[in-house]
Amino acid sequence: MFYRESGQFKTSYAADQALLPIAQDRWFVVLVIALAFVVVPLWADEYWLQAVLLQFLIYAMAAMGLNLLLGYAGQLSLGTGGFMAVGAYAAYKITTAFPDLNIIVVFMLAGLCAAGVGILFGIPSLRIKGFYLAVATLASQFFLVWLFNKVPWFYNYNPSGTLTAPPREIFGYLVTGPRALPEVRYLVALTLVAVFALLARNLVRGRVGRSWMAIRDMDIAAEIIGFRPFQTKLMAFAISSFYCGLAGAMQLFLWLGSVETEAFDIIVSFLVLFMVIIGGLGSTLGSFLGAGFITLVPIFLTNAPRLVGLDMAADLQKHLELMIFGSLIIFFLITEPLGLARLWQVTKEKLRRWPFPY
Amino acid sequence: MATQRHSRDVILDVDNISLSFGGVKAIQDVSFDVREGEMRAIIGPNGAGKSSMLNCINGFYHPQQGTITYKGVKRSQMRTHEAAAQGIARTFQNIALFKGMSTLDNIMTGRNLKMRVNVLLQALHIGPARREEIAHREFAEKIIDFLEIQAIRKTPVGRLPYGLQKRVELGRALAAEPDLLLLDEPMAGMNTEEKEDMCRFILDVNDEYGTTIVLIEHDMSVVMDISDRVVVLDYGEKIADGTPDEVRNNPQVIDAYLGVAHD
Amino acid sequence: MQEFLNCVFVSSPSELVGSPVFFAEVVLSGVLTGVMYSLVALGFVLILKASGIFNFSQGTMVLFAALTLVGFMELGVPTWLALIITIGVMVLLAVAVEKFVLRPLVNQDLIILFMATIGLNFVLEGLGETIWGSNVKKLDVGIPDYPFEIPVGDDYILLSTFDVYAAVIGAVLVFSLAVFFHKTPIGRALRAVADDHQAAMSVGIPLKTIWIIVWSVAGVVALVAGIMWGSKSGVQFSLALIAFKALPVLILGGFESVPGAIIGGLIIGVGEKIAEVYWGPCVGGAIENWFAYMLALVFLLFRPQGLFGEKIIERV
């Protein structure tokens, strides 16, 4: 009754192709943006900003990256952690070498480095497909993490091997470093995520997105129509790695302040993969839903037993988390391989008809 | 009823093509030509090598012997995307649509080679990227109108019935504005009405746009009605080549179809 | 940089050539590791050959088997009884996995199955650690473990009895599996099932029973691998990660080949050891972390179907 499209006529192709063709959707997004940019920084406390929202934003960025590669282009990659590491280490090296360079520019350059590495490790994707490619990307994951661990140049010969984000400012506000306010860091991260989500949506609904989906759905036919598989796949790896690299840089500078290579190990790759699956392959919204889900489950598990009166030991909680993650993955793959995004879509369909049953 | 066409230039010349897979000879020393604007049918019993022939023409298979001359350029090896860039489009026996995309998107993929704007502008979706997307959308819509599939333009093709999928596939091929259109059993599995519609579309494409069409088809009445000339293959060899009337009365052709014992 | 190049191209190769006895020792050590990789890969190949199902959780089953065994032994159960109980548990586990995870996903892409078994890995790890605790456990089933020397000329090769036992047990297991598959009626039935389920059923072969047999065998193989690995380095989560190394083994050897799993395992084991011992010091060590995967990657570029796999022909 409320969520209806009737009466909303599109009189031009541009209107039909718009990102949010239904008016109710537009209002909803405006509301979310207003909440996110204005209400949250005013109301949220440090714990929420630091432990939940920033984590969510960084995960969302990484999940978007992997979604472009896996959900849209159909290339299974287990190297997400490695590419995030490239972004973090590249950003660190660039900003320590050029301290006056604007940190956002540093981020972009770090993303480009990650994109370059992504192209390199994406080259095998022409010959190798599907599961074999996944194992090949494990090579990139293990190698990159090992590289950043072993070659001291990457962490500026610092004896502890840890990267620490130096303080940097934008327009006079401190955005990185130990004294930067969580609200400021949150807003910077939020802006980056919002901008890049928009760019991702644009890419996906245009020629590049179609070329990825064509390769994903039937690469032989795609080539016969004239798509170049190699260029298409490399483009997917490049852009996806850019996003992951950016996420890694954001993780170091905006969220944690310091990282070691453990922050980018194979578990992270699996985690981002889970986000993409649970959230929904081939859907930008899905990346957000999945990231949100993975961020919230540990929080829920930490707090829920206490609310119900049970007291759970920390390591038992961790084991339960593992089991719940694992079971959810299996559950989603069996019942709804299209993930939460699909559930959301189904809900919207039902809303269209509400309150009528069909 | 195909009208007699005055002779035109040869757009495709297939010369002494032989193709084998391992020990199996799919095509043996087959030659024929196709004239511009013509409706050329390839017929023959199952396994005669018809689809393989189309695959050679558009570069998916590389024949061990022989050459193919297309638009005056002789070549024996061509990559498929090169063939596409030179104006060859095709449909497939088993439908090769992109199941995850909608009808409209599938047809838009056919426009891919005409889209030039670079990635960065696309990401920002401004200016030239926006205009290009809309211009190609208009062209795709013309094809959708032509094929009368407006109602399903946003439906994911995986959900469409077989007959409509075949029509969408034709639309995708047409979107590329091909000079040579290869159709592999475009009417397989259709009922009479669907076949009539498909026939009409194919004839319209040939009449209105002058597209050269090479068509594999099993339905004899269709072939005889709409083609200008027919090539008959059997066990990988050419056994007849001429107008529908000539071929219809050829004793070898009759034998092949009736299954007379082969030496 | 100069130092690095010198190390890689001069001092390491010269070290290799300079002491053939030590080289033999390294190779042997690699062979022994390789046998263990092969064992894990073998469990996978068995299930695939006999039921067409990709059981990527084979690695975690190794861990789980070891955990269960150690758990019971720590409770005071005598070794022989603990072994029998563990085998029973593995069979039950296999049946449950097949019923709840693999069967619902039976027609999906490899990728989906792979991701499901990563999920399964997490579940099993969580479950194992919840039941048995997460600290590293020492596993001792009574295999003697002391070093001994094999004299060669006036030099000697250093080995441990444990390694020898492991290799022998591994070889015996592999050999008996090969015999089992090819010579016995049950083995024949298994191969029939792998070929064509319907046809096998139509000649009276009971599918369910066969699958249970196969999975039990795979479970036993996992247990042996778990005992070997666990005794050597303690029972802990990293055991499952070692099992991930079976993936490059499978890639090299082809997914459905028993000899492939063996040869692939040996190549990876020996290659890894040689790279680590001779070239590891040039780069600070731990090459073993990624060498197997890089090797598989390079291999895939030239021969995407593995050593013994079938060439994939794509048709339109």
What is the complex's ipTM, to 2 decimals? 0.82
Strands A163-164 and A258-259, bridge-based pairing:
antiparallel
Q: Specify the pLDDT at position A158.
A: 79
Give the least confident one: B77-81, C208-212, C273-277, C290-294.
C208-212
C contact residues 283-302, partner A, Cβ 8 Å cutoff:
283-287, 289-290, 293-294, 296-297, 300-301
Question: Is any Cβ of chain B less than 8 angstroms from the Cβ of A68?
Answer: no
Among partner residues B85, B105, B129, which is closest to A210 by beta-carbon distance? B105
Domain presence at residue A2? no
- At residue A101, what are phi and psi to the nearest 5 degrees? -75, 135
Interface test with B, best of A207, A210, A230, A338 (most B CBs within 10 A): A207
- Mean pLDDT within C196-220: 76
> Which residues have C-beta within 8 Å of that of residue A172, sequence separation ≥ 6?
none
- Whether the ω angle into residue C78 lies within 30 degrees of 0, i.e. cis, is no
Provide the terminal-to-terminal Cα distance of chain C, rounded to the nearest Å. 51
Query: What does the block give as tokens for B175?
Result: 């979107």
Say how many domains are in chain C: 1
Are A112 and C285 contacting, i.e. CB atoms less than 8 angstroms apart? no
Contacting residues of C for A324, CB less than 8 Å apart: 126
Q: What is the DSSP string of B52-64?
A: HHHHHHTTSS--S
Specify the residue for token string 């998107």: B105
Number of other CB atoms surrounding residue B134 within 10 Å:
14
- Mean pLDDT within B27-39: 91
A contact residues 223-242, partner C, Cβ 8 Å cutoff:
224
Q: Are residues B81 and A17, on separate chains, in Cβ contact within 8 Å? A: no
Mean pLDDT (chain B, rounded): 86
Q: DSSP secondary-structure letter at C57?
A: T
Mean pLDDT (chain C, rounded): 77
Q: Are residues A226 and B129, on separate chains, in Cβ contact within 8 Å? A: no
Question: Is any Cβ of chain A less than 8 angstroms from the Cβ of B235?
Answer: no
- Mean pLDDT within C8-36: 77
Domain presence at residue A56? yes
pLDDT in tens, B131-173: 888 889 899 999 999 999 999 988 889 889 998 999 999 999 9
- Contacting partners of chain B (3+ CB pairs under 8 A): A, C
Q: Are residues C247 and A136, on separate chains, in Cβ contact within 8 Å? A: no
| pLDDT reading at B3 higher than 60 | no
B177: left (phi over 0), alpha (psi -120 to 50) or beta: left
C contact residues 171-190, partner A, Cβ 8 Å cutoff:
none
Contacting residues of B for C313, CB less than 8 Å apart: 21
Contacting residues of C for B94, CB less than 8 Å apart: 316
Among partner residues C119, C130, C251, which is closest to A132 by beta-carbon distance? C251
Q: Are residues A333 and C109, on separate chains, in Cβ contact within 8 Å? A: no
- Mean pLDDT within A295-301: 79
Question: Is any Cβ of chain C less than 8 angstroms from the Cβ of B235?
Answer: no
Domain residue limits, chain B:
7-87+179-263, 100-177
pLDDT in tens, B176-199: 999 999 999 998 888 888 899 999
Contacting residues of A for B58, CB less than 8 Å apart: 224
Query: What does the block give as tokens for B52?
Result: 């393989």
- Mean pLDDT within B94-121: 86
d(Cα C132, Cα C137) in Å, to the nearest integer?
Answer: 10
Q: Are residues B81 and A224, on separate chains, in Cβ contact within 8 Å? A: yes
Bigger pLDDT: B188 vs A29: B188
Residues in chain B: 263
**CATH number of the CATH domain containing C20:** 1.10.3470
d(Cα A151, Cα A139) in Å, to the nearest integer?
Answer: 18
Q: Specify the pLDDT at position A111.
A: 95
- CA C47 to each of CA A10, A32, A344, C215, C223: distance values in angstroms, whole numbers, following the listed order: 56, 50, 38, 7, 15
Angle at B205 between CA B203 and CA B210, to 5 degrees: 105
- State the nearest Cα–Cα gap between A205 and chain B, in angstroms: 9
- Mean pLDDT within A334-338: 78
Question: Is any Cβ of chain A less than 8 angstroms from the Cβ of C106?
Answer: no
d(Cα B184, Cα A155) in Å, to the nearest integer?
Answer: 60
| pLDDT reading at B4 higher than 60 | no
Q: Specify the pLDDT at position B259.
A: 60
| pLDDT reading at B102 higher than 60 | yes
Question: Is any Cβ of chain B less than 8 angstroms from the Cβ of A231?
Answer: no
pLDDT in tens, C282-291: 777 778 788 8
Domain presence at residue A213? yes
Give the least confident one: A39-53, B1-15, C264-278.
B1-15
Query: What does the block give as tokens for B37?
Result: 């604007």
Question: Is any Cβ of chain C less than 8 angstroms from the Cβ of B61?
Answer: no
- Mean pLDDT within C88-99: 82
- Mean pLDDT within C95-105: 77
Bigger pLDDT: C246 vs B7: C246
Give the least confident one: A19-23, B40-44, B122-126.
A19-23
Strands B229-234 and B237-242, bridge-based pairing:
antiparallel
**CATH number of the CATH domain containing A250:** 1.10.3470
- At residue B75, what are phi and psi to the nearest 5 degrees? -160, 150
Q: Are residues C120 and A328, on separate chains, in Cβ contact within 8 Å? A: no
Count CA within 13 A, CB hemisphere, residue C204: 1
Give B40's strand partners: B214, B229
Angle between helices A80-97 and A130-150 (to 10 degrees): 30
Q: How confident is the model at residue B1 (pLDDT cuts 50, 70, 90)?
A: very low
Cα Dmax for chain A: 67
- At residue B76, what are phi and psi to the nearest 5 degrees? -110, -25
Domain presence at residue A132? yes
- Mean pLDDT within A263-282: 88
| pLDDT reading at B174 higher than 70 | yes
Domain ranges, residue C95? 2-302
String of b and e for C101-117 (b: at least 16 CB within 10 Å)? bbeebeeeebbbbbbbb
- State the nearest Cα–Cα gap between A237 and chain C, in angstroms: 17
Question: Is any Cβ of chain A less than 8 angstroms from the Cβ of C3?
Answer: no
Among partner residues B60, B108, B123, which is closest to A224 by beta-carbon distance? B60
d(Cα B205, Cα B146) in Å, to the nearest integer?
Answer: 10
- Mean pLDDT within B55-74: 87
> Which residues have C-beta within 8 Å of that of residue C64, sequence separation ≥ 6?
C90, C93, C124, C127, C128, C222, C226
Say how many domains are in chain A: 1
- State the nearest Cα–Cα gap between B198 and chain C, in angstroms: 22
Contacting residues of C for B60, CB less than 8 Å apart: 316
Q: DSSP secondary-structure letter at B71?
A: T
Are C176 and C40 contacting, i.e. CB atoms less than 8 angstroms apart? no
Q: Specify the pLDDT at position C316.
A: 44
Question: Is any Cβ of chain A less than 8 angstroms from the Cβ of C282?
Answer: no
Domain presence at residue A12? no
d(Cα C174, Cα C160) in Å, to the nearest integer?
Answer: 21
**Against a cut of 0.90, is the pTM above it?**
no
Q: Which amino acid is at B70?
A: Y
Closest to C290 in 3D by CA, of A351, A353, A105, A79: A79
Count CA within 13 A, CB hemisphere, residue A78: 23
Give C157's strand partners: C150
Domain presence at residue C313? no
Count CA within 13 A, CB hemisphere, residue B137: 18
Are C47 and C58 contacting, i.e. CB atoms less than 8 angstroms apart? yes
Domain presence at residue A18? no
Among partner residues B90, B98, B113, which is closest to A213 by beta-carbon distance? B98
Q: Are residues C297 and A139, on separate chains, in Cβ contact within 8 Å? A: yes
- CA B215 to each of CA A209, B16, B185, B255: distance values in angstroms, whole numbers, following the listed order: 32, 20, 7, 22
Residues in chain A: 358
Q: What is the DSSP string of C283-316?
A: HTS-GGGTHHHHHHHHHHHH-TTTTTSPPP----
Percent with pLDDT over 90 in chain C: 0
- Mean pLDDT within B193-206: 91
Domain presence at residue A14? no
Are B126 and B192 contacting, i.e. CB atoms less than 8 angstroms apart? no
For CA atoms B14, B15, B16, B20, the dihedral sign is: negative
- Mean pLDDT within B221-237: 88
Report how far Cα B156 is from the mean position of its chain's Cα atoms.
23
Q: How confident is the model at residue C306 (pLDDT cuts 50, 70, 90)?
A: low
- CA B78 to each of CA A226, A294, B31, B67, B199: distance values in angstroms, whole numbers, following the listed order: 12, 48, 18, 11, 30
Specify the residue for token string 């999928």: B165
CATH topology of domain B7-87+179-263: Rossmann fold (3.40.50)
Bigger pLDDT: B76 vs A33: A33
| pLDDT reading at A130 higher than 70 | yes
Among partner residues B99, B110, B125, which is closest to A217 by beta-carbon distance? B99
Query: What does the block give as tokens for B48?
Result: 């005669």
Domain presence at residue A22? no
| pLDDT reading at B2 higher than 50 | no
A74: left (phi over 0), alpha (psi -120 to 50) or beta: left
Among partner residues A203, A218, A226, which is closest to B122 by beta-carbon distance? A203
- Mean pLDDT within C272-280: 84
Question: Is any Cβ of chain A less than 8 angstroms from the Cβ of B138?
Answer: yes
Domain ranges, residue A317? 44-353
- Mean pLDDT within C190-201: 73
Q: Specify the pLDDT at position C153.
A: 67
Cα Dmax for chain B: 67
